[in-house]
Structure formats: C-alpha cells, structure tokens
Amino acid sequence: MRKRLFISILITLLANATAQAQRVISLYEGKAPGSESWTWSEAENTKNVFNTRVVYNVATPTLTVYLPNPAKATGTAIVVAPGGAFHTLSIDSEGTDVARWLNDRGVAAFVLKYRVVRSLTSDPVAELMAKMQDFNKLDEENAPVIPLAIADGKQAVAYVRSHAAEFGLRTDRIGLMGFSAGGTVTMGVGFDYTSANRPDFLAPIYPYLGTGAIARQAVPADAPPLFVCAASDDQLKLAPHSTKLYTDWIAANKSAELHIYLKGGHGFGMRKQNLPTDSWIDRFGDWLALNGYLKK
C-alpha cells in the first residue's frame, strides 16, 4: 500500500514539474534587427502601483517555453504576448499564469518578451503612468518600437512552427494570443503575415488597435479564426477596438467569437476580481475545444 502511494505521489510530482519546465530561447542570432544600437539590459520590477511583477527594457526578444505533461499534450501551441503599453510586460497575469493554465489543458505555451520602449529609472510603471497623462505623446514615443514588437511576434510564430517537431507540436495548430499592447502585436501579425509566420488562430484580449499602432487593418483573405475579449468599463476606452475587430471579421465571412463583459476594467488578465471576467479564460477554453484545438 505504501509503495503504491509513494509511486502515485512521485508520478504527480513529475507531472507537475513537467508542466512548469522552462527554457528561454533568443529569437534572433546576435542583435535584433532594427535595434542594433540598444545597449540596455532587461530588468524586472515588483514594487509598483500595478502591484505585480513587470519586465522592462527588453532589448533581446525571447520566448520562454512551457510544455505540458506529455500525457496531456494535444499538439497545440500558443505564443502569449503580455501587455504593458509597450513600456513594460505584465509577465505573470498576462504571461506565465496563462501558460500554466494552457499547460493544464495540454497546450504548449511560449511566453514572448518583445521589445519595448526604454525606461530610464528602476520604476517603469511610474514612468508609464506619468506619460499616460497625454496619450498622443505616448503614442508618438511608442511608434518607433511597435513595428519592432510586431516583428518579434512574427519571428516567434515562425520559430515555433519551424521547431514544431522538436516540441511535439502540429504545424497547423500554432496560435497567437496577446493582451493590450500584446494584442496590438497579435493583430499586427494577424493583419499581415506570410505562410511561415501565419498564426492558425488569434486571441487578442482587450487589444489596442489605434491606426497609429497598426496602419494596415484589412481582414486577410485567409484570416485565421478569432477569439476576442474585453470589458465595457475599460479605463482606456478600448472596448470599441474589440467590437470593431469582431465586426470586421464577421463582415468578411471569417470565424469569430466576441466576449464583452460589463465590468472588469482594463488589464484583468488572470487576476481574480470576483467578477465574471474571472472566467474569461474558461470561455477561451470552450472556444479552443469547439475548434478542435484540445483534441490529440
């Protein structure tokens, strides 16, 4: 009896270790194209008004790999792009926490650290909040970096597809999900891709889709299926960006699903607020299952 119990506990521990195993991959050999002159180093901050861990000063784009227990693996993968107004990356609520949820359902996750605007202090959130007093100026500062971040999104999808066999993935089940600015990255790829970096499905969550961020917003002829989600009380007034995206997809006779919650604000991610938005990720799971992405 004790031997069987020990073996059961050991199997559980090994399964959990597998689900949280990590490997960090640089997206480019040497300096990333377009930012060769960047000399600053990536850093983290945990003491900020957002009360969460953020990554900033990303100059070397990477993917952090989270693979599911092989017994659960479905062959589906998702590149996850956290948000943070192109100044920070909300790496837990919109990154690692999402990855672990996906792993539990047999989906491989690749958390993307894409290039962001340089922060000049050790509190990038305070810098960002000061800049958010004037969104026009913030957009101007972000403008040169957004194409680089979108390029990182394209490179990420291409990398995962070209290494699918190594990770036990299907080349036709590689999706791209992004939150806020990460949603900009997601749709920057989703509006303009090649066969190598075309996502098989898209999941922009409360994305920012200003024309200054993404110039080309025509639905592609072979547009991937779309899952989009936001809250009506988004403090940044971005809910219409999500509804327009859904409407455009439907008008083009493309597959789309939209969830607009009454409350939840901007940046709810995987945070618990005792609101219906707490279960948005479960609705995404339903959508994945309905589209066959959770089948082996």
pLDDT score of 8 more than 70: no
**Backbone angle region of 234, left / alpha / beta, with phi > 0 → left and psi within -120 to 50 → alpha:** beta
Cβ–Cβ < 8 Å for 203, 153? no
164 within domain boundaries = yes
Tens of pLDDT along 86-109?
Answer: 999 999 999 999 999 999 999 999
Q: Which domain holds residue 274?
A: 35-290
How sure is the predictor about 4, in pLDDT bands with cuts at 50, 70 and 90?
Answer: very low
Lowest mean pLDDT among 8-17, 25-34, 60-69, 261-270: 8-17
The strands making up 22-26's β-sheet, listed across from edge to edge, are 22-26, 62-66, 108-113, 77-81, 174-179, 201-205, 226-231, 256-261
What is the distance of C-alpha 205 from the center of its chain?
A: 8
How many structural domains is the chain composed of?
A: 1
Q: Does 40 have pLDDT greater than 50?
A: yes
CATH number of residue 255's parent domain = 3.40.50.1820
Assign 14 a pLDDT band (cuts: 50, 70, 90): very low
Query: In the predicted model, is pLDDT for residue 169 greater than 70?
Result: yes
Q: Predicted confidence band at 12 (pLDDT cuts at 50, 70, 90)?
A: very low
Helix H or strand E segment including 205? strand 201-205
Q: Within a domain: residue 221?
A: yes
Which pLDDT tens digit goes with each residue over 131-160?
Answer: 999 989 999 999 999 999 999 999 999 999
Model pLDDT, residue 51: 87
Q: What is the CA radius of gyration of the chain?
A: 19
Q: Please name which of 164, 167, 202 lies closest in space to residue 185, comparing C-alpha atoms.
A: 202
Distance CA 177, CA 198 (A): 13
Classify residue 90: in a domain, yes or no.
yes
Q: Assess if residue 177 is contained within a domain.
A: yes
Q: Which two tokens stand for residue 37?
A: 């002159």
Question: Tell me, what's the pLDDT at 20?
Answer: 58
Q: Measured between alpha carbons, how far is 180 from 86 in angstroms, rounded to an integer?
A: 9
Would 5 be classed as within a structural domain? no
Which runs of consecutive H residues, i.e. helices, occur in 63-208?
97-104, 124-131, 135-142, 146-162, 164-167, 181-190
28 found inside a domain: no
172-211 residue pLDDT tens: 999 999 999 999 999 999 999 999 999 999 999 999 998 8
Whether residue 11 lies inside any domain: the answer is no
Average pLDDT, the chain: 93
pLDDT for 122: 95
Structure pTM? 0.93
Round to whole Å and give the CA distance between 11 and 247.
47
Q: What is the DSSP letter of 40?
A: -
CA–CA distance, 225 with 147 (Å, rounded to integer): 23
H or E element that contains 17 = helix 2-19
Q: Count of residues for the chain?
A: 296
Asked if residue 263 is part of any domain, the answer here is yes
pLDDT band at 11 (very low <50, low <70, confident <90, very high): very low
